[in-house]
C-alpha cells in the first residue's frame, strides 16, 4: 500500500512539474515568436533602424564620395568685429552649411562645414571678403586648413 501511495504521489508531482515546465517553455516560445515577427516587419518596412542611421550619416554624392567637408580657417591679426563680418561672409558662400567662430587676440578660428574642396571654399571667401583679405594675406592652404595673416594687410 505504501508503494502505491508513493508511486501515485511521484506521478502527480512529476505531472505537475512537467506541466509547469511546459508552461514556461510556451512563454519563451511566444516571446521568441514576437521578436521574430517584429524583425520581419522591420525588414519589410525597409528597416527602421537603417533609416535612422542613414539620417545620421554624411551625405554622399553619386560616386559614393563624401560631399560634406570641414575646413578650419585660422586668422591672425583680426579684431572681433572684422571676425564677425568675415564669418557672415563665409556663411553667405555657396555650399557652406555651418560655421563655428572662436575669437582669440592672437589667432582666431572659423570652422566651416561645406561641400566641395578647401580650395573652392578659399576662392568663394576671396570673392565675398575682398575688403578683409587678399591672396597676399594667405599664409597656408592645405586640405582642411586655411591660414590667413591680416597683420601684413
pLDDT tens digits for range 19-60: 555 666 677 677 767 777 776 665 665 555 555 555 555 444
Task: Tell me the average pLDDT across 132-151.
Answer: 92
User: Among residues of the chain, what percentage have pLDDT more than 90?
Assistant: 49
d(CA 103, CA 110) in angstroms, rounded, equals 9
pLDDT of 12 > 80? The answer is no
Task: Compute the 3-state secondary structure of the chain and give helix, strand, coil in percent, each to the nearest 5.
Answer: 50, 25, 25
Average pLDDT, the chain: 79
Task: Tell me the average pLDDT across 74-99.
Answer: 94
Task: Tell me the average pLDDT across 87-100.
Answer: 94
pLDDT of residue 43: 60
pLDDT of residue 142: 93
CB 5 within 8 A of CB 13: no
pLDDT of residue 23: 67
Amino acid at each position: 500500500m505504501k508503494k502505491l501511495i508513493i508511486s501515485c504521489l511521484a506521478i502527480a508531482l512529476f505531472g505537475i512539474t512537467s506541466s509547469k515546465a511546459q508552461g514556461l517553455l510556451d512563454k519563451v516560445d511566444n516571446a521568441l515568436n514576437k521578436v521574430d515577427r517584429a524583425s520581419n516587419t522591420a525588414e519589410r518596412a525597409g528597416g527602421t533602424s537603417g533609416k535612422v542611421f542613414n539620417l545620421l550619416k554624411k551625405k554622399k554624392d553619386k560616386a559614393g564620395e563624401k560631399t560634406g567637408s570641414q575646413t578650419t580657417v585660422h586668422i591672425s591679426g583680426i579684431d572681433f568685429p572684422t571676425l564677425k563680418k568675415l564669418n557672415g561672409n563665409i556663411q553667405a558662400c555657396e555650399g557652406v552649411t555651418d560655421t563655428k567662430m572662436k575669437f582669440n587676440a592672437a589667432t582666431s578660428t572659423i570652422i566651416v562645414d561645406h561641400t566641395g574642396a578647401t580650395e573652392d571654399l578659399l576662392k568663394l571667401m576671396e570673392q565675398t571678403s575682398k575688403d578683409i583679405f587678399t591672396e597676399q594675406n594667405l599664409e597656408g592652404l592645405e586640405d582642411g586648413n586655411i591660414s590667413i595673416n591680416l597683420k601684413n594687410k
